[in-house]
């Protein structure tokens, strides 16, 4: 068990550019979640996958955000036409379905800074 | 939509004192989880409560789920410097939504 892996750890981009983040969940976990966290706040739910199916998206998720999990393993989160308000830590988490709605295992996150 | 509120936002204690954080949901929860996040780290799962009125203990930590399944608390007895961090509660609604809604957290600061 190597834990949830996220890349890159840091990303600095200029406003208007597109960025893509990758998440590799714990291998036997088939649920994968994306959260966003800003300083001093709790993680904010963005979207969730069970295997390759995207089952839930937050109403707060702008059309500029898209997530995929094409083979039910790793996932990518893309942000198009980034804005300064997108600056945050993007956290990925995974969990196992066998335990029902069980604990989330978080990665170390990707810190995005939009200048 | 579902909202999860935590108080206090910050808590300063002397080492050895007790600490409690409270969590309230605007809707009934199917379960509630607690996480701890150290400065510079990511949230780490502590415990999950499912049953109405449930109480669980982990060494110096006591977790409680309210009878109405809308509130919860975390109590730490005799805090130690290793307890420093932010404690989050996170709830799942009973309507089938799977995404956990996190509170804003309580930042625990311990003075030696």
pLDDT digits (tens, 9 = 90+) for B23-41: 999 999 989 999 999 999 9
Give the tokens for residue B1: 């939509």
**Distance in angstroms (rounded) separating the CA atoms of residues B35 and B43:** 6
**Contact present, B106 and B7 (Cβ < 8 Å):** yes
Is 80 exceeded by the pLDDT of residue A34?
yes
What Å distances lie between residue B99 and A39, A40, A69, A114, B90, CA to CA? Answer: 21, 20, 17, 26, 10
Residues of A in contact with B1 (CB under 8 A): 59
Residues of A in contact with B6 (CB under 8 A): 42
**Distance in angstroms (rounded) separating the CA atoms of residues B74 and B97:** 24
Reported confidence tier of residue B94, pLDDT bands at 50, 70, 90:
low
Residue of B nearest to A90 (CA): B42
C-beta atoms of B43 and A106 within 8 A: yes
| B interface residues, A as partner, C-beta within 8 Å | 1, 4, 6, 30-31, 33, 35, 41-45, 48, 88, 90, 92, 97-105, 107
| The length of chain A, given as a count of residues | 115
Reported confidence tier of residue A101, pLDDT bands at 50, 70, 90:
low
Q: How far is B76 from chain A (nearest CA, A)?
A: 20
CA atoms within 13 A on the CB side of A101: 20
Is 90 exceeded by the pLDDT of residue B108?
yes
For an interface test with B, give the residue of A5, A42, A97, A100 to mutate (most B CBs within 10 A).
A42
The pLDDT score that the predictor gives to residue A96 is: 83
């Amino acid at each position: 068990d190597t834990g949830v892996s996220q890349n890159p750890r840091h990303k600095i981009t200029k406003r208007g550019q597109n960025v893509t983040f990758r998440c590799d969940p714990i291998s036997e976990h088939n649920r994968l979640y994306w959260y966003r966290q800003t300083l001093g706040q709790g993680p904010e739910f963005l979207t969730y996958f069970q295997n390759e199916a995207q089952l839930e998206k937050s109403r707060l998720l702008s059309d500029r955000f898209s997530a995929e999990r094409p083979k039910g393993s790793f996932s990518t989160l893309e942000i198009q036409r980034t804005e300064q308000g997108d600056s945050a830590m993007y956290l990925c988490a995974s969990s196992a379905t066998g335990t029902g709605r069980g604990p989330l295992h978080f990665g170390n996150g990707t810190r995005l800074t939009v200048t | 939509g579902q909202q999860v509120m935590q108080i206090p936002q910050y808590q300063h204690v002397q080492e050895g004192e007790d600490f409690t954080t409270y969590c309230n949901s605007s809707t009934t929860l199917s379960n509630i989880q607690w996480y701890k996040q150290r400065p510079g780290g990511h949230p780490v799962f502590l415990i999950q409560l499912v049953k109405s009125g449930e109480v669980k203990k982990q060494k110096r930590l006591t977790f409680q789920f309210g009878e109405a399944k809308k509130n919860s608390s975390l109590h730490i007895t005799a805090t130690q410097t290793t307890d420093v961090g932010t404690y989050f509660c996170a709830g799942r609604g009973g309507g089938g939504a799977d995404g956990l809604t996190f509170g804003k957290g309580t930042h625990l600061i311990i003075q030696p």
